[in-house]
Structure 1
């Protein structure tokens, strides 16, 4: 196995700075801007501010915004670093707003807007960061970038668990998250400058010719990445609620979400150690199956151990799948990959919209999330089959 960080001493520090800055952006935009809702949902349900159906609507509003934001990325011609800064600042302000306002329709608008800017942060930080690492021949630091959401999830999960134990009102927690995010954002703000990447503005298509095969590979990436979005989101949105239903009175449910985040960090860092020559699609297929097993674990074994194992198996592949998808987009389109990244992210976002809309009514009707979770596991298994087919077809062509 190749060394994960084959970086010269001259480029090591710039590579670390770029990777860590992007990790902070994703920790704020995804770990807080998108996923802080998961550990705070039980608090909001307990206070009577929401019921489970309205919680599903808020989740889907956020994912709808993520879809719109991702689709718009292909049309945005603003400097990538400037877009990252804007999305970072907007995420902080929208997180603060969740604690300030108390009307459902305003929450819906805020969660929608937060979805839009989190998609911008994800796509443009990914393209900026991966391009910068490519310039420095420091691809192994890519795992650091995609460990960022895990850091945000762990932090918000632990703080949310502490807030629940101390009966801290949810609005205070939202505002606390905003303050912490602002401090983190200030620490990396200066890293994102136009001059930081000499490749800005060059649309280099190494390996991204517009042949029929390349178009088919791009369509396959977009469609199958969407199944990953649908497959994981039901557990990711409702995990604390599901665990509380299965383990009433237990202290464990508040820890499953931070465990998900820790596994996510480990998965992203380990994925970056794999050789670049390995097929991104086949690697992703294996990770889809791991997530499907994680979902099944909580259904078949609705115990603390079952949910714990499920959280780890669901979290470990989470952003590793994203890393391989974004690498595949760059393999196909090179430095002009932002558009394809945006379309793939939009497909993922569409899957995330459908997930809660499917799960919440089923759970409300049956009193259980089991049926919706089995559907999610089946979607991931189908995605894995599709990815294996694409990867083996490419091997046959070679």
Structure 2
């Protein structure tokens, strides 16, 4: 696959556009639909007596466990099969899970397919951007990265609009309809994934990572993990909370999910603008503060306008924090693409681990507190506050380091 011209701001060539569309399709199928389409389906699954409330929430956590496995195994799959083949295989697996979930043979059957759904999403998250971006000229990588992660928001919006329409034909038809959409997107992306190794011009010699940079990376992993623990309730329980917790019905719950999805579409662009103005570290801090406000709203009020605002914030930063975390890694390691890829894999694994732990913990808490949403969102708020404290500690440490360099005599 050839790269675009090295001229600054030159348009992407055909191969680059095909790769971008493939990346967007991958994140849309593997995460946008595979994970987020399940959230508005939880109330119908319960109401149709396919599963109990506790089991339906637990199946969401099983998807998180698969996501962790995919994040851990993604790079190994790519080494064994090649990035292109691994990505194609994962999209086929994700597509198959939709058709399998149309048949609720047992809880065990569903658990296996929800796990595989998560596994494909985790592998795609680790591999998609790092497969595509080395083939894109540096001046266009920010745009392409945003387009790839845009698939998350499009998936949320699509699930919020398609699922209610498909549900008119029944749960089985809904799963099959999502499977058909995933199959079409898999076909669209099939020849777009780059083949071969990245261009040699991008394969810079490894740069030794200083101890200060290592500390910054580790603190970022902690922030990203705590962020995962804080965002899980909105990702899994938002529709259930609106529809059943507040008793406002599945239709209004689906509308909140559409609002969440529309905000998620805007998230990568908005966060990219903030990064340009403030830098990734400060932009990440802004994201944490906004999410603290959103989770606090979920605890404090049941006002429809306040909950709408909180939903918009959640939507903006669900994919937005992915963009900010990747931007922060590039900020810490600006010259070593290999180190950036390794750090991104580590960050994704940390996020996936605490997303899984949070999913199972919240499912257990949901089952043993008779659906105490307030407690769940309170714990999510505390997780976000902890992440912010770590962010502030890292900023203070960096300022001290800069002062020490500027005033060595001190």
TM-score by length of 1: 0.89
Matching of residue 397 in structure 1 with residue 401 in structure 2: yes
**Superposition map of 1:253-264 within 5 A:** 253-264=253-264
Question: 1 CA distance for matches of 2:393 and 2:250?
Answer: 43
Question: 1 CA distance for matches of 2:83 and 2:329?
Answer: 17
After TM superposition, give the deviation of residue 238 of structure 1 in Å.
1.0
Report what 1:301 is aligned to.
Answer: 301
Question: 2 CA distance for matches of 1:140 and 1:104?
Answer: 42
Report what 1:363 is aligned to.
Answer: 366
Question: 1 CA distance for matches of 2:108 and 2:236?
Answer: 20
Q: Is the 2:19–2:194 Cα contact (8 Å) retained in structure 1?
A: no
Aligned residues: 389
Cα RMSD after superposing both structures? 2.5
Question: 2 CA distance for matches of 1:111 and 1:372?
Answer: 23
Question: 2 CA distance for matches of 1:44 and 1:231?
Answer: 25
Structure 1 window deviating more from structure 2 (349-358 vs 328-337): it is: 328-337
Report what 1:110 is aligned to.
Answer: 113
**Superposition map of 1:92-241 within 5 A:** 92-135=95-138, 137-164=140-167, 166=168, 168-195=169-196, 197-199=198-200, 202=203, 204-205=205-206, 209-241=208-240
Question: 1 CA distance for matches of 2:363 and 2:62?
Answer: 14
Q: Is the 2:233–2:377 Cα contact (8 Å) retained in structure 1?
A: yes
Report what 1:42 is aligned to.
Answer: 43
Question: 2 CA distance for matches of 1:396 and 1:131?
Answer: 34
The 3-state SS of whatever aligns with 1:194 is coil
Report what 2:405 is aligned to.
Answer: none
Matching of residue 378 in structure 1 with residue 374 in structure 2: no
Structure 2 residues without counterparts, runs of 5 or longer? 1-6, 403-410
Question: 2 CA distance for matches of 1:203 and 1:104?
Answer: 49
After TM superposition, give the deviation of residue 172 of structure 1 in Å.
1.7
Structure 1 residues without counterparts, runs of 5 or longer? 1-5
Matching of residue 243 in structure 1 with residue 242 in structure 2: yes
After TM superposition, give the deviation of residue 255 of structure 1 in Å.
0.8
After TM superposition, give the deviation of residue 54 of structure 1 in Å.
0.8
Choose 1 or 2 for highest CA Rg.
2
The 3-state SS of whatever aligns with 1:191 is coil
Structure 1 window deviating more from structure 2 (307-316 vs 67-76): it is: 67-76
After TM superposition, give the deviation of residue 142 of structure 1 in Å.
2.2
Question: 1 CA distance for matches of 2:134 and 2:157?
Answer: 27
After TM superposition, give the deviation of residue 48 of structure 1 in Å.
0.6
Structure 1 window deviating more from structure 2 (123-132 vs 146-155): it is: 123-132
TM-score by length of 2: 0.87
Q: Is the 2:132–2:193 Cα contact (8 Å) retained in structure 1?
A: no
Question: 2 CA distance for matches of 1:302 and 1:130?
Answer: 43
The Cα offsets for residues 237-281 of structure 1, whole Å up to 9 and x where unpaired, read as: 011110012143474211111111111111112222345585323
After TM superposition, give the deviation of residue 157 of structure 1 in Å.
1.4
Give the direction of change, closer, same or farther, for the CA distance of 1:54–1:348 in structure 2 (3 Å limit).
same
The 3-state SS of whatever aligns with 2:12 is helix
Q: Is the 1:124–1:338 Cα contact (8 Å) retained in structure 2?
A: no
